[in-house]
Amino acid sequence: MTTQPAQRRAPKTGRFDNSVVKKTVMAVSGIIMILYLLAHMVGNLKAFSGPESFNSYSGWIRTIGEPALPAQTALWIIRLVLLAAVVLHFWAAISLWRQARRARPVPYVTKKRVQQSFASRTVRWGGLILALFIIWHILDLTLGAVNPVGHDSTPYDRLVASFSNIPITLFYVVSMVLLGLHLRHGIFAATQTLGQTNKRRERAVNGLAYLVAGVITVGFLLVPLSVAFGLID
Amino acid sequence: MNLTLRIWRQRDRTKKGKMVTYHVTDVSPDMSFLEMLDVLNEKLILDGDDPVAFDHDCREGICGSCGLMINGIAHGPEQTTVCQLHMRSFSDGDVLDIEPWRAGGFPVVKDLAVDRSAFDRIISAGGFISAPTGTAPEAHSTPVPKKNSDAAFDAATCIGCGACVAACPNGSAMLFTAAKVSHLGLMPQGQPERDSRVLKMVAQQDAEDFGGCSNIGECSAVCPKGISMETISRLNHDLLGALRAGGVPTS
Amino acid sequence: MPLELFTVGEPIADTTAPRDVPLPDRWNERKFRARLVNPANRRRLSVIVVGTGLAGGSAAATLAEMGYRVKNFWFQDSPRRAHSVAAQGGINAAKNYRNDGDSVHRLFYDTVKGGDFRSREDNSYRLAEVSAAIIDQAVAQGVPFAREYGGLLDNRSFGGAQVSRTFYARGQTGQQLLYGAYQALERQIGLGNVEQHPRTEMLDLIVVDGKARGIVVRHLITGEITSHFADAVVLASGGYSNVFYLSTNAKGSNVTAAWRAHKRGALFANPCYTQIHPTCIPVSGDYQSKLTLMSESLRNDGRVWVPKERGDTRNPKDIPEDERDYYLERKYPAFGNLVPRDIASRQAKAVCDEGRGVGPNGLGVYLDFSDAIARVGQAAIEAKYGNLFDMYNRITGENAYETGMRIYPAVHYTMGGLWVDYDLSSNIPGLFVIGEANFSDQGANRLGASALMQGLADGYFVLPSTISNYLADGPFPAVDATHPAAVEAEQSVRAQTERLLSINGTRTVASFHRELGKLMWDLCGMERSEPGLRKALDRIPEIRQEFWSNVKVSGEQGIFNQNLEHAGRVADFIELAELMCVDALHRNESCGGHFRAESQTPEGEALRDDENYAYVAAWEYTPEGEPPVLHREALEYEYVHLAQRSYK
Ligand SMILES: Cc1cc2nc3c(=O)[nH]c(=O)nc-3n(C[C@H](O)[C@H](O)[C@H](O)COP(=O)(O)OP(=O)(O)OC[C@H]3O[C@@H](n4cnc5c(N)ncnc54)[C@H](O)[C@@H]3O)c2cc1C
Ligand code: HEM
Ligand code: HEM
Ligand code: SF4
Ligand code: F3S
Ligand code: FES
């Protein structure tokens, strides 16, 4: 009968079809990545204390826990956790993105922003570029596959080689800025997603987001820029 | 003042629509936006054209019927409903783009009117307290701290207009859903169904072709009732709590 | 009384209230005597409910909970948008939480007195009796009423009452109560107990073998005209203030459902009783489409005044205290700014008629908050009324914290409606009428905060108990769209729609509505007189004639056509307007919301004529051209003594 409203659509079942659950997955994986990045950043800054310090740090990562544990155990645990985080984060992002596209099949002729920040607007494309960055970055500095001096060199040499190359440095810089934006929004978003924001905490959460995003961006940018400007070689 | 309006015209759900340009003259700044459209419509009727369809009823900002995208902003430049928006917010010679809410969950009915029954289905999935008539205890038997009751009231003022969905880049109905989850979850009466309520309502909002929320905040910024983003945080919190308590997100 | 205007038929009476027991026991007694329907049989019984306001929404939810099969119809897109959502001030209940001497009996007494002794004692008493349970029910549903720091419910006093018995949720009480009912209704819809028909307008009543058995509706989006059947039909379609074009009602509020039932034989009672609300934002231009109410709770803290001098156009802030006339406080020292609505409204009109009105067109008085702000601070006033001040600012562009508000009376509520007995049944068996659509509890004037009470009392508590007495005889023989009565009703609806679309004249529907409204406001509004009403009665048939020969309705039948909807409603308003004027003219007394210039005390107060008019005027419809038939229901007062209402 046509006078009846659209039949009620049965909600999908299953934990991971729920958009809030997907968001939680993003938030948790994002936080794991943030923690990793903080550590990674500190490690990178060792480049300022010279090649030995940097290379031995790289070596240390591979030998944590030895001899009690086989070589590279800790590294592999970190790698697996990170891989899982990236994959889950990516999966949830894509799935929410697709849901959002279904939710606005006809675009507006004119649409303005009222509140939306640049950071929140760029999460998706920014995130995609970050994904490309991570792939490139691993090929470059871990595997050395795309590195100017190849994979046989020491980590430090690979680093210097990459950032002596202007286009590569630029790519890193752009990616780091995007990362900063991603985190500026992401840290606030993760707090909200985990149900931890409220009016009272709003300022604190936003402050924290700016702080962490700023520290990570600046911290990561120091090394490539220093190399590019010849402060490290 | 004189204005140029570019209005979305669409005969019904199945037909394609397009923007059509109209001119209105002698608009008084004291008119409401809908009264301005009334004037246009009377002219269209006398010219033998089809008047522009738009939903409206109370015209005092409370029924939630009205809602238009005006120059890309839900409910126009002021944070209020279109019926409470007055022409003094515009100036002579302005060109205004007027579109319906656009969302998968809100199919266009005609011109500027959309079908928002998805909202009712979200409520019907769990946005209530089961208190059949006659089963109520004496009203004073459970005191409610004023703080909670005020916060519940703030959330309960949502008029179901759909501007949040219209403005959200993800087409998400999360602010609407969260407002109801918060309202009921903040009161002692709402506790017994708190877990199942949030699970069912979110599942229904996902099933209605609304997007997920990515905390952009556009919704709250255009909400005529100023429903706060805090409600979404509270919804997330409740949902995680419900999952921890063993709930499964089904309906 | 010139007889050509109407003829007098048989008197009528309510036979369902158990008058053989004392007043306080009657409702219980009635519930006890009413026949019940066994739960297993309820599934086989269906009920059509038209409307989802406080009355319809609560009734549909409750009947569905009880196990009846409910079919619910309304014209908005969602049940949550029914006009009840706009009620601001509050809801009365005889809880006596303030310990200020309130009781069921006092609320009953206030209601009868407030209604200027033109309501039924039985109904008013029951309303007061049920009121407390409404609050319990609403709280259980999660309605966020205002609370005090101790966590208990807050109350305030409200127009015309000396006790604090009004429960409120900031300035949005109707909204919150409606959402409570709406959520209960959505729950039943989800459970599959209610078949919902949004955006569907009732256009006729189907009466089979003397019983109301169904309705004819038009689906507003597809234009499809269909018939629906049930064992009983409940109308909860709200009030008809929009006959005045400008009123505080929503644009869609209409008399159509009630009027078409009237044309099928339901008596229409006291159509001329209209309530004028004293605190609305004054009209500002011809294009204006509706009037906005400022909750009269503002009168608790605001003081009403006009300049002593006529034509004083100074900024209100520059008018010194001794040049202001706080006329309500002056004339009614006991109640001051809190006198009942009809008095406050008429006094405002009186001072404006003297030329002392304020604002652009001299139709306004000040409602001033400077004393209250000085006393409790702006923050406290903001907390109480912030949303109203914002609304005022949005509409007028003025800051009322500084200048006070300009207010003027506007049509707000209609006490008249379809005639019902104590069981809320109209004179057509099977047709029940609840909420503002019936006439029953408010008499000639309604106390503030008692319409919400009535809507919910009817829907949650009264109707569900009384309808079973009727349904106990069911299920009635099945009827479908092929039944001659249904065919005929559908046919007449189609014919009217086609006719409206085919006239293709030169005037818009809105222009007729505006003309009719202005005429009614001028001649059948706040003050009525014989010459004025006669003038209106001359003019209305001409408007009707012109409407049916010169209206231009655009579009087609088979699509979403808001112009066509409006046309159908205006057609009914024109007919109703005529009956209102006849009723107003025949009632040669003043009472409550009906003020006849010919009947006033030397001080200009309403003067009742209990000798001749202590009755309900229930009108029977007659075909066009024949005068309507008046059936009188005598009002007897056993518990409240008829007295001249005094608020001095
Ligand atoms: C601005 C304002 C403020 C008020 N404030 C207060 C207050 O503070 N306290 C108080 O006690 N009272 C107040 N009132 C009065 C009170 O709100 C109303 O009397 C009451 O809400 C009416 O409820 P109802 O359920 O009878 O009708 P409504 O709420 O008007 O509902 C009518 C329903 O019927 C449906 N309907 C109508 N016609 C048709 C049709 N032809 N076909 C299908 N469906 C139809 C509509 O869709 C709607 O669902 C106020 C009224 C106004 C206008
Ligand atoms: C521009 C700043 C950065 C510099 C200079 C940098 C430097 C390095 C170097 C030198 C290595 C190799 C370490 C080794 O093999 O011992 C490495 C590994 C890695 N980096 Fe970065 N990095 C930067 C930014 C990032 C960012 C932003 C991310 C993540 C988004 C990231 C993720 C990784 C990962 C996942 C590895 C691989 C770890 C492993 O599996 O061994 N890096 N980085
Ligand atoms: C693999 C590449 C990445 C993609 C495609 C991606 C994409 C996204 C998207 C689309 C969102 C938010 C939008 C939404 O909620 O729908 C998001 C949120 C987030 N991202 Fe990423 N991102 C990536 C990498 C990262 C990295 C490297 C970090 C941290 C170092 C990170 C941290 C976060 C955080 C904390 C959030 C907030 C989660 C939330 O919304 O609750 N992301 N990401
Ligand atoms: S949350 Fe705000 S914008 Fe969304 S429906 Fe409710 S009132 Fe409208
Ligand atoms: S704008 Fe959309 S993304 Fe979330 S915070 Fe509001 S629903
Ligand atoms: S018409 Fe009711 S909110 Fe605008």
- For the segment C91-105, what is each residue's pLDDT rounded down to a tens digit? 999 999 999 999 999
Q: For ligand 5, is residue B233 a contact (CB within 6 Å)?
A: no
By C-alpha distance, which of A170, A153, A193, A149 is closest to A19? A193
CB-neighbour burial class of residue B159 (10 A; exposed 0-12, middle 13-18, buried 19+): buried
| CATH architecture of the region C278-412 | Alpha-Beta Complex (3.90)
Please tell me whether residues B176 and B197 are part of one structural domain: yes
DSSP C395: H
**Percent of chain C's residues with pLDDT above 70:** 99
Looking at C30, C165, C260, C341, which residue is catalytic?
A: C341
> C222 vs A4: CB contact, 8 Å cut-off?
no
CB–CB of C287/C402 below 8 Å?
no
Residues 6+ apart with CB under 8 A from C445: C114, C115, C116, C273, C275, C340, C341, C342, C415, C591, C592, C593
- For the segment C566-595, what is each residue's pLDDT rounded down to a tens digit? 999 999 999 999 999 999 999 999 999 999
Which two tokens mark A211?
């702080």
Which residue has its alpha carbon closest to ligand 2 atom 13? Answer: A142
CB–CB of C183/B123 below 8 Å?
yes
CB–CB of B192/B185 below 8 Å?
no
> B51 vs C137: CB contact, 8 Å cut-off?
no
Which residue has its alpha carbon closest to ligand 3 atom 16? Answer: B214
Which residue has its alpha carbon closest to ligand 3 atom 22? Answer: A127
Q: What is the CATH number of the domain that holds B179?
A: 1.10.1060.10
- Residue B250: the pLDDT is 54
- Residue B72: the pLDDT is 96
Ligand 6 shell residues, CB under 6 Å = B 56-59, 61-66, 81, 83
Packed helices B194-207 and A19-45: angle between N→C axes, nearest 10 degrees: 90
- Residue B246: the pLDDT is 80
Please tell me whether residues B102 and B143 are part of one structural domain: no
By C-alpha distance, which of C55, C527, C645 is closest to C272? C527
Indicate if the pLDDT at residue C384 is higher than 90: no
Kindly indicate the confidence band of residue A10, based on its pLDDT and cuts at 50, 70 and 90. Answer: low
**Alpha carbon distance A74, A77 (integer Å):** 5
Please tell me whether residues B51 and B126 are part of one structural domain: no
Q: Rounded to a whole number, what is the distance in angstroms from the first to the last CA of chain C?
A: 33
Per DSSP, what are the bridge partners of residue C432? C234, C425
Q: For ligand 3, is residue A30 a contact (CB within 6 Å)?
A: yes
Q: Mean pLDDT, to the nearest integer, of C110-134?
A: 95
Residues 6+ apart with CB under 8 A from A50: none
Alpha helices in chain B (DSSP H): 33-46, 117-126, 146-156, 163-167, 174-185, 194-207, 218-222, 230-244
Please tell me whether residues B197 and B82 are part of one structural domain: no
Kindly indicate the confidence band of residue A3, based on its pLDDT and cuts at 50, 70 and 90. Answer: very low
Please tell me whether residues B7 and B105 are part of one structural domain: yes
Please tell me whether residues B121 and B226 are part of one structural domain: yes
- Residue A15: the pLDDT is 64
CB–CB of C301/C400 below 8 Å?
no
| B112-116, C70-74, C402-406: least confident range | C402-406
Please tell me whether residues B102 and B146 are part of one structural domain: no
- C-alpha B215 to ligand 2 mean position (Å): 29
**Percent of chain C's residues with pLDDT above 90:** 84
Pocket test of ligand 4: the residue of B75, B153, B180, B227 to mutate, having most ligand atoms within 8 Å of its CB, is B227
Q: Mean pLDDT, to the nearest integer, of C142-158?
A: 93
Residue type present at position B133: T
Cβ of C186 under 8 Å from any chain B Cβ?
A: yes
**Alpha carbon distance B172, B170 (integer Å):** 5
> C62 vs B56: CB contact, 8 Å cut-off?
no
Task: Give just the sign of the alpha carbon dihedral C483, C486, C489, C492.
Answer: negative
Pocket test of ligand 3: the residue of A23, A40, A89 to mutate, having most ligand atoms within 8 Å of its CB, is A89
Which two tokens mark C161?
């009452």
Q: What is the CATH number of the domain that holds B17?
A: 3.10.20.30
- C-alpha B157 to ligand 4 mean position (Å): 9
- Residue A23: the pLDDT is 94
> C226 vs A3: CB contact, 8 Å cut-off?
yes
Q: Mean pLDDT, to the nearest integer, of C444-450?
A: 90
Q: Mean pLDDT, to the nearest integer, of A156-175?
A: 90
Kindly indicate the confidence band of residue A4, based on its pLDDT and cuts at 50, 70 and 90. Answer: very low
Cβ of C83 under 8 Å from any chain B Cβ?
A: yes
- Residue A120: the pLDDT is 84
| A53-57, A184-188, C138-142, C423-427: least confident range | A53-57
- What number of other Cβ atoms are within 10 A of residue C15's Cβ? 9
Indicate if the pLDDT at residue C269 is higher than 50: yes
Kindly indicate the confidence band of residue C128, based on its pLDDT and cuts at 50, 70 and 90. Answer: very high
Please tell me whether residues B228 and B120 are part of one structural domain: yes
- Residue C159: the pLDDT is 65
> C224 vs A3: CB contact, 8 Å cut-off?
yes
C4/C482: higher pLDDT: C482
Give the domain extent around B211.
Answer: 116-132+139-244
Which helix (H) or strand (E) segment is C178 a member of?
A: helix C173-190
CB–CB of A75/A62 below 8 Å?
yes
- Label residues C555-566 b or e (16+ Cβ within 10 Å = b): bebebbbbbbbb
User: Which residues in chain C are closer than 8 Å to B145, comparing Cβ atoms?
Assistant: 151
- C-alpha A117 to ligand 3 mean position (Å): 16
* C341 assigned to active site: yes
Report the predicted TM-score, pTM, of the whole model to 2 decimal places: 0.95
Residue with tokens 């005094």: C646
Q: For ligand 4, is residue B159 a contact (CB within 6 Å)?
A: yes
Pocket test of ligand 3: the residue of A83, A130, A196 to mutate, having most ligand atoms within 8 Å of its CB, is A130
- Residue A68: the pLDDT is 81
- Residue B251: the pLDDT is 37
- C-alpha C384 to ligand 4 mean position (Å): 23
Indicate if the pLDDT at residue B133 is higher than 60: yes
- Residue C1: the pLDDT is 46
Considering chain B, what is the average pLDDT of its residues? 95
- C-alpha B220 to ligand 4 mean position (Å): 8
Q: For ligand 3, is residue A137 a contact (CB within 6 Å)?
A: no
Which residue has its alpha carbon closest to ligand 1 atom 30? Answer: C238
Q: Mean pLDDT, to the nearest integer, of B235-246?
A: 93
Indicate if the pLDDT at residue A6 is higher than 60: no
- What number of other Cβ atoms are within 10 A of residue B137's Cβ? 12
Q: Mean pLDDT, to the nearest integer, of B55-72?
A: 96
Q: Is residue B143 part of a domain?
A: yes
Kindly indicate the confidence band of residue C160, based on its pLDDT and cuts at 50, 70 and 90. Answer: low
Domain count, chain B: 2
Indicate if the pLDDT at residue A1 is higher than 50: no
Indicate if the pLDDT at residue C618 is higher than 60: yes
- Residue C447: the pLDDT is 87
Tell me how close the Cα of A10 comes to any Cα of chain C, in angstroms. Answer: 11
Q: Rounded to a whole number, what is the distance in angstroms from the first to the last CA of chain A?
A: 78
- For the segment C166-222, what is each residue's pLDDT rounded down to a tens digit? 999 988 999 999 999 999 999 999 999 999 999 999 999 999 999 999 999 999 999
Q: Is residue B215 part of a domain?
A: yes
For residue C425, the Cα-to-chain-centroid distance in whole angstroms is 18
Ligand 2 shell residues, CB under 6 Å = A 37, 40, 44, 58, 61, 79, 82, 130, 134, 137-138, 141-142, 155, 159, 172, 176, 179, 220, 223-224
Q: Is residue B251 part of a domain?
A: no
Q: Mean pLDDT, to the nearest integer, of C410-426?
A: 97
Residue with tokens 């409602």: C367
- What number of other Cβ atoms are within 10 A of residue C88's Cβ? 26
User: Which residues in chain A are closer than 8 Å to B230, comparing Cβ atoms?
Assistant: 197-199
Q: Mean pLDDT, to the nearest integer, of C463-472?
A: 97
